Amino acid sequence: MPHVTMEVNGKAVKVDVAPSALLVEVLRRDLALTGTHVGCDTSQCGACVVHMNGASVKSCTVLAMQANGAKIVTIEGLSQGTNMHPVQAAFKEAHGLQCGFCTPGMVMSSADLLARNPNPSETEIRSWLKGNICRCTGYHNIVKAIQIAADTMSKKAAAE
């Protein structure tokens, strides 16, 4: 069986995979990183978003073999030890979740957005999140959380 070597949340891993295995399957089944969710199996919902080489990707659309040599960050690897990433903290503060199923993908997509655009408008935030579906919240508090995170991150950057 072929194997994939990648860095996941800062740790080197080598996993034997079937050629047809999806990245989300390897993360959940083989690496026990179950924060990455499978919501639709059609790449519509975004619950499976992870960062691959610094960009958000829907891990249900990436073959594990395509991640060979890649740097992968999952929701479990976004925080710094016990310190939540500013997007995670803002989702908590603004109540940007209800059932929580979409939250890992939303947080990962939002962190990518803020890495690319530190001060997005509400329209830009809503446009960026088109690939993430939340069936509970109506997005108002999710957008608010991203705005809070953007403000927190810009204040931190200014202080450094």
The answer on 150 and 95 residing in a single domain is yes
149 shares its domain with 90: yes
More confident residue, 156 or 50: 50
Question: What is the tally of structural domains in the chain?
Answer: 2
Overall average pLDDT of the 8-12 stretch: 98
| pLDDT tens-digit readout, 90-149 | 999 999 988 889 999 999 999 999 999 999 999 999 999 999 999 887 799 999 999 999
Distant-in-sequence contacts of 89-92, Cβ < 8 A, 24+ apart: 89/149, 89/152, 90/145, 90/146, 90/148, 90/149, 90/152, 91/142, 91/145, 91/149
**Whether residue 54 is found in the same domain as residue 93:** no
Q: How many CB atoms lie within 10 A of CB 69?
A: 10
CATH number at residue 69: 3.10.20.30
Is 33 found in the same domain as 96?
A: no
The residues, any chain, with a CB within 8 Å of residue 39's CB and separated by 6 or more, are 45, 46, 47, 48, 101, 102, 105, 133
Q: Residue 6 — very low, low, confident or very high, per pLDDT cuts 50/70/90? A: very high
Q: Are 37 and 60 in contact (CB under 8 A)?
A: no
Q: What is the pLDDT of residue 39?
A: 87
Instruction: For residue 7, give its domain range.
Output: 3-78
Decide if 91 contacts 78 (C-beta within 8 A): no
> Which CATH number goes with the domain that contains 131?
1.10.150.120
Of the pLDDT bands very low, low, confident and very high (cuts 50, 70, 90), residue 69 is very high
CA 131 to CA 20: how far, in whole Å? Answer: 24
Query: Where residue 42 falls among pLDDT bands split at 50, 70, 90?
Result: confident
Residue 7 tokens read as 């860095």
Is the same domain home to 11 and 34?
yes
Same domain for 7 and 74: yes
